[in-house]
Structure 1
Amino acid sequence: MWHGDRYPGSDGTDGFRAGADDIDALVRATSPGSGQGRGGALPEPAATPVEARGVPFDVVTGVAETPVGFLFCALTDAGLAACSFAPEETVIDRLERAVSPDVVPHDAGLEPVRREINAYFAGRRSAFDVPLDLRLTGDFGRVVLRSLLDVPYGSTITPGELAARIGRPNARRAVASTLAENPLCLFLPCHRVVADGYPDALGPYSGGVEAKRALLALEAGHAGA
């Protein structure tokens, strides 16, 4: 969701080059069972959530209306693959290339996702239970995005601090580029990644600076409640 400080190649190319062994090690270090905190503890996929609702498609989509704008969501048999401020066509194109061409609107299938989003905006939920499907990002992206789960509700972090947290302190710009393509707004909370000059400068956000300001204010108001 980070739009500024873009960097060619969200996998870290053209400036950040990691070998396959390095990426594999990073992915293992942030995988379930690694013992390294919530960054490796994505919600476990439920038993085929799409099929369980009687939806005979690979990907179902719908829109969630929120106080900060509309979010286009997509659910697969592995979990939530998209929750994005990006245009519907852009997200569908990514889904068709990375998951399946069988992408069908199905509002009823997204109701569990909407309920969690609504509870978040009502201040009743600080974390989500919907299982996540990270197929819209690459190996390095999964490492970065999983690490967002270690940024507590109501707190913030800079791109440089996030890069250091995953053991790649010189990859600040690669991290920022990955955040720009975050397909799972709110669920992988890139709005908590702020500019070095925060609070005077928030840093950009795909939903807009005012949306980012509202999300941070919402969490600050309910943190510790």
Structure 2
Amino acid sequence: MTAPVGVLVVDDQPLIRHSLRLIIDGEPGLSVVGEADTGEGAVTRAAQLRPDVVLMDIRMPGGDGIDATRRIADDPVLNETRVLVLSMFELDEYVHAALRAGASGFLLKDAEPARLVDAIRRTHSGESLFAPSILGRLVAHYLDRPARRNTAPQDPTQQTLRGPDVLTDRETEVLTQVGRGLSNDEIAQALTISMGTVKSHIGNLLAKLHARDRAQLVIAAYDHGLVGAGHAGE
């Protein structure tokens, strides 16, 4: 029997933690393994529990969620732990900071419970997930930066990305679908290939483009013109 996906819930408001626990524990294959109400507590509990996914609030006393995300992402012991930021605010600076810190996704707290559950599952499976309104602005943020290809980029999320010229035709097709925000299952259906083949191509893309995670693949797809800004969040 497969072990449930263990989730660490981090939020400074007890009512929100309780609500999230009810939603998550009510879903098959998911389980809340612990809670924390500060950024510092999140780091400590993550080290103790080694959860599969951390649901991370941003604005908290005792260390904010961005710093906690960075510390968790930088801990080699927690290299299997993914961070999904869950915030009331979709301010661009929060989104960019979360991405730079190593978050796998950014979801708003007004999301439907079913979308939250889907986000946890997709995050655990290695997919990056952003609310549609956030994805569009995130991509625009990087595309608006002039002459990035010819200068040493300052943003650590971009410092190792390579161009798509190293990819096969099929890998380019997969990268295009990733840029459009499709899940692995949706890519498999769109390209009429198996889930295993999709995952294999994703792994190749990460290696060939020197990308840290799927979020960087999304940016690479837009950056190199495989999809246009009008597709963001579709």
Give TM-score, length-normalised by structure 1.
Answer: 0.28
Higher relative contact order structure (alpha carbons within 8 Å, sequence separation ≥ 6): 1
Give TM-score, length-normalised by structure 2.
Answer: 0.27
